[in-house]
Copies of this chain bind each other. A is one copy, B any other.
Amino acid sequence: MTYRLPALNALRAFEAAARHLSFRMAASELGVTAGAISQQVKKLEVSLGVALFRRLPQGLLLTTEGETYLPQISKVFEDLTEATEAIAPKMNSKKFNIGICSKAADILPPHWPKHRGSLKAFVRDSIYTNDVEMIRTNEIDCLIRLGGGPYGDLALIKIPSSASTKKHPAELHYVCKPGLADCRQSKAILEDLKIHTLSNS
């Protein structure tokens, strides 16, 4: 008997923006522009008749209402994700396209990640590239490269066991959208990288 819910996509924009306290980062997580987030959040606020954010020059703050709303909305999305993964195994296994910079490829075993059974479920393809922009354009889901330059709002994860040594003068890094840093796919790939770099050093 649900009736007159707020716009669901606008809720998603709100949830991400409130989590980051930044429209720009929310935009990056959801793969749209900040203007789109701004518009969606405004639309939500108008439809609710309540301000959710205080826009300060220094950035965003949640209003009391936003503060109350955020955890509940986050929970709703979590419940939704859980329910969905329970019935739709396919959603778990969206396969990643991996970008590998050529210097990182030198360190990794030949043809990695092919023939890695444990990754088969998580990896669709891999290409050689060093272009971080391809993450933003969704051509690749993550990029493995040497060294951790500044990637703006992208998530940057250092491969734990790949500390700089004589043999490996720079550290392996894993770059992806912030929203993807914690997902199964990333975890599996990172785990596999960790094993490899350990056994190599």
Is B9 a contact partner of A88 (Cβ separation < 8 A)? no
A115 within 8 A of B: no
Is A79 a contact partner of B76 (Cβ separation < 8 A)? yes
How many chain copies?
Answer: 2
Is B1 a contact partner of A84 (Cβ separation < 8 A)? no
The residue from B16, B47, B65, B90 contacting A87, defined by CB atoms under 8 A apart: B65
Nearest CB of B to A50, in Å:
5
Cβ contacts A70-105/B at 8 Å (1 or 0 each): 001111111111011011111100100000000000
Nearest CB of B to A119, in Å:
18
With a cutoff of 8 Å between Cβ atoms, the chain B residues found around residue A79 in the complex are 72, 75-76, 79
Chain B, residue nearest A179 (CB): B3
The residue from B2, B8, B49, B80 contacting A88, defined by CB atoms under 8 A apart: B49
B-contacting 9-mer, from A124-132, A144-152, A166-174, A180-188: A180-188
A111 within 8 A of B: no
Is A179 a contact partner of B87 (Cβ separation < 8 A)? no
Is A78 a contact partner of B2 (Cβ separation < 8 A)? yes
A56 within 8 A of B: no
A32 within 8 A of B: no
Which of A2, A15, A48, A181 gathers most chain B CB within 10 Å?
A2
List A residues 109-148 near B (Cβ within 8 Å). Answer: none
The residue from B2, B49, B73, B94 contacting A83, defined by CB atoms under 8 A apart: B73
With a cutoff of 8 Å between Cβ atoms, the chain B residues found around residue A181 in the complex are 1
